[in-house]
């Protein structure tokens, strides 16, 4: 399954590349160079149209990210990068391909050292070879960062920040040169829910981070400081300028718009769905969030939750049917895994029979 999506509307002057998932995995390399070539072909099909790369990703495969970075740098059209929530780890490599990188004021930028998963037994020489390889990979990442940041940061400082796994606010990322522009008009939302860190309606495994609560703290703090488009700020601006005789009408209109916004968001709630309803609460708290912006993400999340609930309901149906009591006389010799498979199999048969009349 692709971890990227390219949107190229016929009459639009710009195309979009969305990277909202983990960057690659084994699929990127499973077919040799087939997947990188497919990505390159999709870029070429844009015909040099200006490209907006939207990133909300915790990173992934550093080599896949380097491959995408190089292809974006060779792309003939103008490349703008917008960070839609978080750009962490390998995702920051891709972000550096942008001629102009834009971050809303409460998004997150994180850099750290490359890592390697080892399973098995290794002697000292083998581990030293792994360490040497990681050092070389780190230098390639530093090279990418330096090309973007230019003279705003030294190699030594970059290395130190990567050693410490550094989380940067938008302003800090701009100060170091990773980012060119801060977007104060838009903001993102974040919530920690049942082990998932949901950033701008995209769920990430919270175990990916050492301190997910710290990430939320930064996001919420920067959102409160940087959001200039919420109703409270609008009202404050009007209080500071009472020379306008129509202020009462403007205030009444602003309040009405806020009531309509909240009403539309509340309509997105799903009975007995704690995850969706918590996200709606977060959207209501974010004065810039509207139902039109939030609904597409909630629909995708609901689809995933629905698939999970369907399997759980299948198991529940089997439990209630009593099929567990007719697994045979050697019931004690059947593993829990086999029992579960049997339950799912029986539930699948029941579902197909009910849906298609037993055909």
Q: In whole numbers, what is the pLDDT of the chain averaged over residues?
A: 77
Strands 79-88 and 100-104 turn out to be parallel
**Predicted confidence (pLDDT) per residue in 56-72, tens digit:** 998 988 998 999 999 99
CA 1 distance to own-chain centroid: 16
Would you say the pTM of this structure is higher than 0.85? no
Strands 181-183 and 100-104 turn out to be parallel
Which pLDDT score, from 0 to 100, does residue 85 have? Answer: 86
Checking if the pLDDT of 332 tops 60, the result is no
Residue 52's alpha-carbon distances to 55, 102, 121, 256, in angstroms, are 10, 10, 45, 34
Checking if the pLDDT of 175 tops 80, the result is yes
DSSP 3-state of 287: coil
Which pLDDT score, from 0 to 100, does residue 256 have? Answer: 82
Higher pLDDT, 344 or 142: 142
Looking at 3.40.50.1110, 2.40.40.20, 3.90.226.10, 3.40.640.10, the CATH number of the domain 5-228 comes to 3.90.226.10
Q: Virtual CA dihedral for 121, 127, 133, 136, nearest 10 degrees?
A: 150
Which pLDDT score, from 0 to 100, does residue 117 have? Answer: 79
Q: Which of 139-143, 153-157, 274-278, 354-358 has the lowest mean pLDDT?
A: 354-358
Confidence of residue 226 (pLDDT cuts 50, 70, 90): very low
The mean pLDDT value for 171-183 works out to 94
Higher pLDDT, 103 or 284: 103
In the chain, where the domains are located:
5-228, 229-321, 325-356
Residue % of the chain over a pLDDT of 70 = 63
Which pLDDT score, from 0 to 100, does residue 95 have? Answer: 97
Confidence of residue 287 (pLDDT cuts 50, 70, 90): confident
- Quote the CA–CA distance of 264 and 281 in Å, as a whole number: 12
Q: Return the ∠ at Cα 130 (arms to 128 and 135), rounded to 5°.
A: 95
Checking if the pLDDT of 304 tops 60, the result is yes
Q: Which of 45-54, 176-185, 207-216, 347-356 has the lowest mean pLDDT?
A: 347-356
Which pLDDT score, from 0 to 100, does residue 31 have? Answer: 54
Cβ(96)–Cβ(67) under 8 Å?
Answer: no
């Amino acid at each position: 399954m692709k971890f990227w999506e390219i949107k190229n509307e016929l009459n639009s002057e710009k195309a979009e590349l969305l990277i909202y998932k983990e960057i690659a995995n084994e699929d990127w390399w499973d077919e040799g160079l087939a997947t990188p070539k497919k990505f390159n072909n999709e870029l070429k099909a844009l015909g040099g149209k200006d490209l907006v790369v939207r990133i909300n990703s915790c990173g992934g495969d550093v080599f896949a990210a380097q491959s995408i970075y190089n292809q974006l740098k060779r792309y003939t059209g103008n490349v703008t990068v917008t960070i839609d929530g978080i750009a962490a780890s390998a995702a920051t490599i891709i972000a550096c391909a942008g001629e102009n990188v834009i971050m809303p004021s409460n998004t997150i930028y994180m850099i750290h050292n490359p890592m390697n998963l080892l399973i098995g037994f290794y002697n000292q020489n083998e581990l030293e070879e792994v360490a040497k390889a990681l050092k070389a990979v780190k230098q390639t990442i530093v090279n990418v960062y330096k090309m973007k940041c230019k003279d705003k940061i030294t190699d030594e400082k970059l290395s130190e920040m990567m050693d410490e796994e550094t989380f940067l606010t938008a302003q800090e990322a701009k100060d170091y040169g990773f980012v060119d522009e801060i977007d104060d008009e838009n903001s993102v939302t974040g919530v920690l829910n049942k082990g998932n860190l949901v950033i701008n309606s995209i769920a990430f495994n919270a175990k990916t981070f050492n301190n997910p609560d710290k990430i939320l703290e930064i996001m919420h703090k920067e959102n409160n400081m940087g959001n200039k488009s919420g109703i409270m700020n609008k009202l404050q601006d009007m209080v500071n300028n009472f020379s306008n005789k129509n202020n009462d009408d403007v205030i009444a209109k602003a309040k009405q718009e806020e009531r309509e916004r909240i009403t539309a968001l509340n309509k997105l709630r799903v009975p007995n769905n704690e995850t969706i309803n918590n996200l709606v609460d977060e959207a209501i708290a974010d004065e810039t969030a509207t139902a039109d912006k939030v609904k597409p993400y909630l629909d995708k999340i609901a689809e995933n939750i629905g698939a999970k609930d369907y399997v759980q309901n299948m198991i529940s149906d089997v439990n209630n049917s009593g099929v567990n009591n007719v697994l045979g006389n050697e019931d004690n010799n059947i593993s829990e895994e086999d029992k579960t498979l049997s339950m799912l199999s029986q539930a699948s048969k029941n579902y197909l029979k009910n849906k298609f009349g037993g055909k």
